[in-house]
Amino acid sequence: MKRLSRMFSFKRSSLSVEEAIDSEVRRWTLDSNSAKMTLLERRNERIKKMRETSSVVFHEVMSGSLLQRMLREDNNFHDTLMIYCESECSQENLQMWDMLQIYGDLKNGEEKLELFNNLYQNFIHQAGDKQVNLSHDIITKVDMYMQNEVFTGAEMDKELIVSLELATIENLLDSYDRFINNFNSVEQGE
């Protein structure tokens, strides 16, 4: 429940999963009229805060499991990486990873089904607004589940969820590498 509250700024009992997702999607969308700092300024501000608190070791060799742990445990890192991904228009990978984490935390089969349907429509289906780069095998397997209504949410193939998480982390590692290179060039320019 804590994870849901952290991922979505809502009290669990007051919003449905769909309302929470809509709220989070609105949060992810930059509103240029209300933004007081440019994206670059926000990113640099977060990087400075992270450096001051030493919450992340930037020069450490990254692995998928370390990146996952950092995303789960360090809100500053998560938020800073999201800002960077937004700046390069690749935030859909982190958004999908967030939704997969929430999916894993849900116990109710109907909520899982609703969340996975949303995930499928937005991130996996070829007509999705935020389609992520996934292998043909994974997409075919997910399509099979969705078209045949093989699962009820609680019965979703755990192996498939793990495959989706790993593919998403692989995409995020690419973004992270660019983030580190950008951070290093900002650091050298100071």
The predicted-structure confidence for 112-140, as pLDDT tens digits, reads as follows 888 988 999 999 988 888 999 999 999 99
pLDDT exceeds 80 at position 178 = yes
Domains and CATH numbers, the chain: 2-8+37-189 (1.10.167.10)
End-to-end CA distance of the chain: 41
Whole-angstrom distance, CA of residue 175 vs CA of residue 65: 15
Residue written as token pair 């320019």: 189
Mean pLDDT of 90-109: 91
Query: Does the CA dihedral 26-164-1-79 come out positive or negative?
Result: negative
Question: For the segment 73-90, what is each residue's pLDDT rounded down to a tens digit?
Answer: 999 989 999 999 999 888
pTM recorded for the entire structure? 0.63
Between residues 71 and 29, the one the model is more confident about: 71
pLDDT exceeds 50 at position 54 = no
Which of the residue ranges 34-43, 65-74, 157-166 would you say has the lowest mean pLDDT? 34-43
